[in-house]
Amino acid sequence: MPQTGPKRTPKAPRQELPLRDPQSRTQGCGEVSLGFTLKQAQMEARRCLDCKDPKCIEACPLHIDIKSFIARMIEGDFEGALERISEQNPFPGVCGRVCQCELYCEKACLLGRKLKPVAVGALERFAADYASQCGNGLHAEPNGRKVALVGSGPASLIAAYDLVRKGYQVTIFEALHELGGVLAYGIPPFRLPREILRQEIDRLRAMGVEFCNNFIVGKTASLDELFEEGYSAVFVGTGAGLPHLMKIPGENLIGVYTANEFLTRLNLMRAYDFPHSGTPVRVGKRTLVVGGGNSAMDAARWARRLGSETTILFRRGRAELRARLEEIDRAEEEGVHFEFLAAPVRLLGDETGAVREMECIRMRLGEPDETGRPSPIPIPGSEYRVPVDTVVAAIGQSPNPTLQRATPQLITNRGKIVIDDRGQTSLPRVFAGGDVVRGGSTVILAMRDGRAAAEAIDRALQEGR
Amino acid sequence: MNRIFHKVMLAPEVAWLEVEAPRIARRWKPGQFVIIRPTDDSERIPLTIVDGDAARGTILLVVQGVGRTSRLTISREPGEAFTDLVGPLGEPATIGVFGRVVCVGGGVGVAELLPVAAALRRVGNHVTAVCGARSRSQIILDAELHAAADEVCWSTDDGSAGFHGTVVDLLRSREAEFRRAGMIHVIGPIPMMRAAAELTRAWGVRTFASLNPIMVDGTGMCGGCRVTVGGKVRFACVEGPEFDAHQVDFEELARRNSAYREQERLAMQNHECRIGLVLTRQG
Ligand SMILES: Cc1cc2nc3c(=O)[nH]c(=O)nc-3n(C[C@H](O)[C@H](O)[C@H](O)COP(=O)(O)OP(=O)(O)OC[C@H]3O[C@@H](n4cnc5c(N)ncnc54)[C@H](O)[C@@H]3O)c2cc1C
Ligand SMILES: Cc1cc2nc3c(=O)[nH]c(=O)nc-3n(C[C@H](O)[C@H](O)[C@H](O)COP(=O)(O)OP(=O)(O)OC[C@H]3O[C@@H](n4cnc5c(N)ncnc54)[C@H](O)[C@@H]3O)c2cc1C
Ligand code: SF4
Ligand code: SF4
Ligand code: FES
């Protein structure tokens, strides 16, 4: 196909995202990344090579037609760009902000072999923010069947989108009072403004998806009852919400939080606004966050915003951090310190039972472990102590156990729901995906699972299984 | 949803509320609880399900105003609705055949005894409810307790009704009978549960306590409700709230429950100031 339209400029430097300056951002919870300007978006779009064999599309777990949405942007047709994205992804405002794109589309981008890859994530976000959200005329004829989706995280959200487009009547059941799963309770508003999340969920509502919050499947109703109430299939997208504990002495002292509790108090319950909001949080002068993933970055950045001197303690090295690269940079700019190759040994408290000191031990890196990362090995005799008033353990989580406990017939492996290659669990017409199957991954892989499950549900119901 | 049908003030600062919750009314078991947010900006607070009526589609809550959110809860009027209500949460209380059972409750905890005592009696136990209040005016639900248990006795701290002393003193005063009990169930303020557990440990009577740690989500997601039981960390909202009282680290529980005391006190002052302001402006 001959190239037409505005010139492509692959050699131009990759555009940098404009950011709120680190000083002012730690004063509140406004969004840190301001997103491309119109001019930047057009310049960045023009860097795309318009590849014949666009590896980016294959690498995006949702297979967004990146090449053509970028082509539309170059033509100045932002609504068209958004439409292209929406064919595969109804949540570009969310994904353009939180997708770990360096692992997917940007990793595969051919331009990235020699130069820096096209900033696909930032372009996706620009299209979402700039083009007025097109209401989608994708209403399908109702087919008279009902599907229940458990949990309102990204896995269920995209499954809902795909299923209503196939004519199903869809209800999402959510345990908490707000919708979005980790997007609502885990990821801070300074990374994902809640209006964006709400707008994209409202789009689903406008398409006819029904939301039922304050409803715990396994408690408020059992799986069997959902079937009795006329649902033909159930998708379980209950996430990995069960926090791991450090299992060290002093873990229950006052001021020691799991990342989930710390972030839930702040993001979901708005403790930063206490006493105007009802829920408090304790953040002292010095905060230590243990871990190296997205939760650790988010907790540390919150602690900075609440005025605390903050250090991330990670038992491996910088190269092994698992958070989005962008967030690691943001955390550093905001004054978060990093202490690599160290791990907590125990916590010591004062007479009121509040944490006062952490004893740590230095580590060195050894042979790769089962995750492929070098295993951390404690160095004997290297213990040292640091003063601390707030500790956040951000060391991972396992699947939420409630539904599994109430449904013992559901086969699990170390808490993770086991599915076959069609996404089906050990129970007929019960499907699962996202973190409850993977045990903690990324927004976009959860979405890929939700999409696959929607397809599998459709197939199973068509075949009358 | 979540509408308040009836409200009765049982004592100053203690409200009996009948709330719309059809699904919970159908499925709840004694010992389980709900979490509510009375208004939009409220904290999530756990409250025991005292009774449920599947036909009416309602549950009963008995709430004592101790801080900002619980006071807000009891200030709501019939016709109004709570913003959020979720449940039933937690595991049901242990109900089995033990022969003789003593149910010990202090303060607003006596409300939670009602469904547990009734269920224990229904399966054939002889149930004594041993209840404590600060004074005569604080005695609540006496008639309901009489309907639920075979025997009810009260203690008051000031001696204005029943036994003069704490509920644990009352328990001790009947040692000869009660140490032959097959099971003892305790609920109330932490110091009282702790004292009761020490006493019954000495007697060698199996005892369960329904714990009240601070909770956030109530679904096992945050770990805020963790308690140490037999040296192990347990999440009270999903594994409890009832645990073997002889194994519970009550001291840690008491400490953890005081984590926000100072912040809550300041918030309460601030809140009362604001209410004061509104009143002066209106007046
Ligand atoms: C702090 C934090 C930051 C992160 N940052 C990023 C990031 O920047 N980029 C990225 O790609 N990934 C990130 N991740 C990972 C990503 O958020 C998850 O992989 C993703 O959200 C998983 O989606 P899910 O739909 O499987 O479940 P979740 O998002 O976990 O949602 C599950 C929902 O189900 C509800 N639920 C559970 N049990 C029940 C039940 N029985 N009945 C009803 N509802 C129930 C839960 O309340 C929850 O709302 C982050 C994770 C955390 C914790
Ligand atoms: C499983 C469970 C069942 C409960 N059932 C009932 C009930 O049926 N009726 C009732 O009146 N109360 C019940 N409670 C206690 C009730 O939840 C608290 O009184 C309420 O959360 C206090 O909130 P507040 O904002 O009014 O007070 P705050 O201002 O937050 O605190 C006031 C005092 O209460 C303590 N406290 C704070 N949060 C909690 C909490 N979640 N649990 C216990 N103590 C707390 C604080 O240490 C402080 O001393 C129950 C608690 C649990 C865990
Ligand atoms: S691989 Fe990169 S350069 Fe090629 S089409 Fe995709 S985004 Fe453009
Ligand atoms: S969803 Fe993620 S992987 Fe897919 S195009 Fe957007 S940023 Fe890239
Ligand atoms: S209240 Fe959050 S885990 Fe129990």
Closest by alpha carbon to B19, among B52, B43, B46? B52
Residue B128, phi then psi, degrees to nearest 5: -110, 130
Mean pLDDT of A274-292: 95
pLDDT digits (tens, 9 = 90+) for B30-70: 999 999 999 998 999 999 999 999 999 999 999 999 999 99
Element (H, E) at A129: helix A120-130
Structural domain for B178, as ranges: 100-257
* 3-class DSSP assignment, residue A229: coil
pLDDT of residue B87: 93
| pLDDT of residue B283 exceeding 50 | no
* CATH of residue B83: 2.40.30.10
Q: Is residue B228 part of a domain?
A: yes
Question: Do residue B122 and residue B248 come from a single domain?
Answer: yes
Question: Do residue B80 and residue B112 come from a single domain?
Answer: no
Residues A352, B252: C-beta atoms closer than 8 Å:
no
pLDDT of residue A136: 54
* Rounded-to-integer distance, Cα A366 and Cα A382, Å: 17
> Which tokens is A238 given?
């209950």
Which of B69, B87, B224 has the CB atom closest to A278's CB atom?
Answer: B69
Which residues sit with their C-beta closer than 6 Å to ligand 2?
A: B 33, 43, 45-48, 62-64, 66-70, 108, 111-112, 212-215, 241, 257-258, 261, 264
Which domains, from first to last, does chain A contain? 22-130 (1.10.1060.10), 146-241+399-463 (3.50.50.60), 244-396 (3.50.50.60)
Angle at A390 between CA A389 and CA A391, to 5 degrees: 125
pLDDT of residue A306: 95
What residues form DSSP beta bridges with A413?
A416
What residues form DSSP beta bridges with B34?
B47
Question: Do residue B247 and residue B136 come from a single domain?
Answer: yes
pLDDT of residue B218: 96
pLDDT digits (tens, 9 = 90+) for A56-82: 999 999 999 999 999 999 999 999 999
Give the number of the atom of ligand 2 that is nearest the alpha carbon of residue B258: 47
DSSP A256-323: EEEHHHHHIIIIIT-GGGTTTSS------SEEEEE-SSHHHHHHHHHHHHTT-EEEEEESS-GGG--S
| pLDDT of residue B272 exceeding 80 | no
pLDDT digits (tens, 9 = 90+) for B130-165: 999 999 999 999 999 999 999 999 999 999 999 999
Mean pLDDT of B113-136: 96
Probe site for chain A from B34, B221, B271 (most A CB atoms < 10 A)? B221
Question: B129 to chain A nearest CA, in Å?
Answer: 29
Q: Please report which confidence band the pLDDT of residue A132 belongs to, taking 50, 70 and 90 as the band edges.
A: low
Angle at A163 between CA A157 and CA A168, to 5 degrees: 125
Among the ranges given (A84-93, A126-135, A306-315), the one the predictor scored with the smallest mean pLDDT: A126-135
Please report residues of A whose CB lies closer than 8 A to that of B75: none
Distance B82 CA to ligand 1 centre (A): 26
Which ligand does the CA of A108 lie closest to? 3
Question: Do residue B7 and residue B126 come from a single domain?
Answer: no
Q: Residue B39: closest CA among chain A residues belongs to which residue?
A: A278
Residues A175, B233: C-beta atoms closer than 8 Å:
no
Q: What is the pTM of this model?
A: 0.93
| pLDDT of residue A24 exceeding 90 | no
Q: How many residues does chain A have?
A: 465
* 3-class DSSP assignment, residue A419: coil
* Rounded-to-integer distance, Cα A90 and Cα A172, Å: 16
Question: Do residue B83 and residue B104 come from a single domain?
Answer: no
A446 close to A100: Cβ distance less than 8 angstroms: no
> Which tokens is B115 given?
């469904």
> Which tokens is A388 given?
């601390």
Question: Do residue B9 and residue B36 come from a single domain?
Answer: yes
Which of B44, B219, B267 has the CB atom closest to A402's CB atom?
Answer: B219
Q: Is residue B280 part of a domain?
A: no
Mean pLDDT of A110-139: 83
pLDDT digits (tens, 9 = 90+) for A408-435: 889 999 889 999 988 899 999 999 999 9
Question: Do residue B18 and residue B119 come from a single domain?
Answer: no
Total domains present in chain B: 2
Sheet holding B84-89, edge to edge: B45-48, B33-37, B84-89
Query: How much of chain A, in percent, has pLDDT values that exceed 70?
Result: 97
B100-106 and B126-133 strand pairing: parallel
Question: Do residue B110 and residue B244 come from a single domain?
Answer: yes
The amino acid present at A342, given as its one-letter code, is: A
Average pLDDT across chain A, whole number: 93
Is the distance from the beta carbon of residue A154 to the nearest atom of ligand 1 less than 6 Å? yes
* Rounded-to-integer distance, Cα A401 and Cα A380, Å: 37
Question: Do residue B136 and residue B51 come from a single domain?
Answer: no
Q: Is residue B14 part of a domain?
A: yes
* CATH of residue B129: 3.40.50.80
Question: Do residue B70 and residue B140 come from a single domain?
Answer: no
Q: Is residue B237 part of a domain?
A: yes
Q: Is residue B274 part of a domain?
A: no
Best residue among A99, A111, A447 to mutate for probing ligand 4's pocket (most ligand atoms within 8 Å of CB) is A99
Q: Where are the beta strands (DSSP E) in B115-215?
A: 126-133, 151-156, 163-164, 183-187, 207-210
A223 close to B224: Cβ distance less than 8 angstroms: no
pLDDT digits (tens, 9 = 90+) for B198-234: 999 999 999 999 999 999 999 999 999 999 999 999 9
* Rounded-to-integer distance, Cα A310 and Cα A301, Å: 8
* 3-class DSSP assignment, residue B207: strand
Query: How much of chain A, in percent, has pLDDT values that exceed 90?
Result: 86
How many CB atoms are closer than 10 A to CB A360? 20
> Which tokens is A28 given?
């509140």
- CB neighbours of A370 closer than 8 A, spacing ≥ 6? none
Distance B36 CA to ligand 2 centre (A): 11
Q: Is residue B137 part of a domain?
A: yes
Q: Is residue B262 part of a domain?
A: no
Which ligand does the CA of B260 lie closest to? 2
> Which tokens is A116 given?
């820096």
* CA A99 to the chain's CA centroid: 7
Is the distance from the beta carbon of residue A85 to the nearest atom of ligand 4 less than 6 Å? no
Average pLDDT across chain B, whole number: 93
Best residue among B34, B47, B216, B234 to mutate for probing ligand 5's pocket (most ligand atoms within 8 Å of CB) is B216
- ipTM associated with this complex: 0.94
Last residue of a domain, one of B56, B89, B122: B89
User: What CA–CA distances, in Å, run from A54 to A74, A111, A120, B135?
Assistant: 17, 10, 13, 79
Question: B208 to chain A nearest CA, in Å?
Answer: 22
| pLDDT of residue B122 exceeding 60 | yes
pLDDT digits (tens, 9 = 90+) for A310-362: 999 999 999 999 999 999 999 999 999 999 999 999 999 999 999 999 999 99
Mean pLDDT of A281-292: 97
Element (H, E) at A169: strand A169-173
Question: Do residue B160 and residue B53 come from a single domain?
Answer: no
Last residue of a domain, one of B89, B117, B136: B89
- CB neighbours of A32 closer than 8 A, spacing ≥ 6? A19, A20, A25, A190, A191, A330
Exposed / middle / buried, residue A386 (Cβ in 10 Å: 0-12, 13-18, 19+): middle
Q: Is residue B276 part of a domain?
A: no
Question: Do residue B123 and residue B56 come from a single domain?
Answer: no
Is the distance from the beta carbon of residue B52 to the nearest atom of ligand 5 less than 6 Å? no
